[in-house]
Structure 1
Amino acid sequence: MTSQPPPMHPGAEAAPTCYRHPERETYVRCQRCERSICPDCMRDAAVGHQCVECVEQGNRSVRPARAMFGGAVVTKPRVTWALLIINVLAYLAEIADPEGVIGRFATWSYGIYQGEWWRLITGAFLHAPLTSSWSLSHILFNMWALYAIGPELERRLGSLRFAALYLLSALGGSVAVYLFGELAVGASGAIYGMFGALFVVSRKLGFDARGVLWLIGINVVLTFVVSGISWQGHLGGLVTGTIVAAAFVYAPRRSRNAVQLSAVVALLAIMAVILLTFPPYGVIA
């Protein structure tokens, strides 16, 4: 004997079931595709509910948020913190072996001329040793400036562009030391590049930039008044950072990435040509 389903009354319809779980009855429909969905397949929407597939399709069509001048939105200034940590760790290594670290990694023009290219960037993460007249004030001022200005610039530019600004400014300062100086250590080239970038960003956004100008002016005067400061590294970083920031900030929106990348590549090429063409200060080719 077999059991038969009860006969349906005339006009009666089968209860709707979830399109993903046919065994479950439901009377809720997706607001986009109108398919029936059970509680496990419901996703909250602005109005009503949507199914899993419609939510995924909608997420793919939504543009990710961008920083003001390109790049992903920065919620935490990770590049700023990473640079701070690298500078502090380098200084601790310098304290442990000042002669070895400075002798091997300082920005030394003749060493660069002899092919020690790493000095162009490693010197920007070293600072005046404890035995010098600057003692701790050198690294403390630079790290305070990085802490105070870095997060704001990173949020405006995006992490990748901020890292490019910092490193290019450091390179610009080192190239200036190579051409017009002899030996230098310190993140001041990168810090001065951030000063220049802060001025450019302030002007672009319509902020009052007089305070930034005063900051730059005072530090430039101190560069030439106080003995033992590498004016080459400071001014080289300032000029480079200002140029990089201008390229990032004033790049047209439609071709922003291409213009910004081209500016970075062009600056790197110019620096390479200078280093390969001209001898350092005091060396006759």
Structure 2
Amino acid sequence: MLCVDCVRQHQRSIPREQRAPRFTDRQGNAIPLATYIIIGLTVVVYGLQWAGQVIPSFPDVSSLLMYSPLHTSVAALEFSQVTGQPLFQPWRMLTSALVHSMGSPLHLLLNMAVLWLIGRQIEQFLGAAKFVAIYILSAFGGAVAVLFLAEPNSAVVGASGAVYGLFAALWMIGRRLGADTRSITILIIINFAFSFIFSGISWQGHLGGFLTGLAASTPVVLADKKLAAGATPELRKRTNRLTWLGLALVAVVLVALAFIGALLIDTQALLGH
């Protein structure tokens, strides 16, 4: 998607003391460790999902980690008081990115393939910490969009929202490097078309993840552009702080939206479904 030499040249332009910590192989090539860890963790969770289906008394991992808007509603609190069952579980907005469809292993395969293809490039450009931040925020943003746009009793699984956030980050990085982003744009359009054409796909999560990816990658790319011409160490530190402040602001907005969305699902909607 991006010119490898362009990304490496960009890394060389950053002062050594300001470069994100990286693991390297014996040849000195950067190892995108965060990308590999996310892929490995997701695959392990998928294995646990299958274990829950074939091993007696093993927990149903899919049911424990998937997300439904009802899990983050005020109505869930009221329902818990009536039944005594803990239904309000906001952490599912993130854990749902770890579980995938049991009926179609292709769901996991495609998400992990895209993550492997583009995650390594984004991590090399942004560094592991900012890459992971954008990935998590995009997963969260996808769940927030599901909360607002999907049926209260719908259930979603998969890392697609986070992956669409990486699509957005890749597009932003391409623009920052002056690369030809037409191929990335076409890829995004095709994937969005599939989201609306085929049933059983959460276009809401895809849209939310993509918009969040745009918002989260904006302060990172703007900071990189500001420092491209060279800056003092103090300016670099201040810019880095502002970058993380921008990422934190995106997180605060998502939390606020999740809170508002929780108020929009009433008790009758919960009990009715």
Give the TM-score taking structure 1 as reference length.
0.72
Distance in 1 separating the partners of 2:50 and 2:192 = 28
Alignment-mate amino acid for residue 169 of structure 1: S
Give the corresponding residue for 1:118. Answer: 91
Structure 2 counterpart of 1:125, which letter?
Answer: L
Cα contact 1:178–1:281 (8 A) shared by 2: no
Letter in 2 for 1:261: W
1:107 and 2:67 are equivalent in the alignment: yes
Q: State how far apart, in whole Å, the 2-side matches of 1:65 and 1:202 are.
A: 24
The partner residue of 1:89 within 6, 27, 44 is 44
Where do 1:1-285 residues align within 5 Å? 64-67=16-19, 71-73=20-22, 75-98=30-53, 100-113=60-73, 114=76, 115-129=88-102, 132=103, 135-181=104-150, 182-251=154-223, 252-253=226-227, 254=235, 255-279=238-262, 283=266
So what's the TM-score if we normalise by structure 2? Answer: 0.75
Amino acid at match of 2:62: I
**Counterpart of 1:117 in structure 2: which amino acid?**
P
Instruction: State the AA in 2 paired with 1:214.
Output: I
Equivalent pairs, count: 216
- Structure 2 distance, partners of 1:117, 1:270, is 16
User: Aligned partners of 2:166, 2:119: CA distance in 1, in Å?
Assistant: 8
For structure 1, the 5+ residue unaligned runs are 1-62
Preserved contact between residue 72 and residue 158 of structure 1 (Cα < 8 Å): yes
Paired-residue identity, %: 32
RMSD: 1.8
Instruction: Say which structure, 1 or 2, has more relative contact order (CA 8 Å, 6+ apart).
Output: 2
Q: Could you tell me how far apart the structure 2 residues matched to 1:125 and 1:104 are?
A: 11
Shift of 1:282: 5.4
Q: Distance in 1 between matches of 2:264 and 2:199?
A: 19
Measure, in 2, the Cα distance between the counterparts of 1:79 and 1:157: 12
Secondary structure of residue in 2 paired with 1:126: coil
The residue identity in structure 2 corresponding to 1:158 is: G
Name the aligned partner's letter for residue 98 of structure 2: F
Moved over 4 A (4+): none
Distance 1:220 1:140, change over 3 A: same
Q: What is the CA-CA distance between 1:96 and the residue it aligns to?
A: 1.3
Gaps of 5+ in 2: 1-14, 24-29, 54-58, 77-87, 228-234, 269-273
How far did residue 64 of structure 1 move? Answer: 3.6
Between the aligned partners of 2:67 and 2:194, the Cα distance in structure 1 is 21
More helix by share: 2
1:279–1:112: structure 2 CA closer, same or farther, 3 Å change rule? closer
**Distance (Å, rounded) in 1 between the aligned partners of 2:264 and 2:41:** 29
Matched residues in 1 for 2:121 and 2:200: separation? 30
1:188-211 residue CA offsets vs partner (Å, 9 max, x unmatched): 001001111110000000000000
Larger radius of gyration: 1
**SS in structure 2 opposite 1:279?**
helix
Q: Deviations over 1:232-266 (max 9, x none)?
A: 11010001111111210112333321221111111
Counterpart amino acid of 1:91? Y
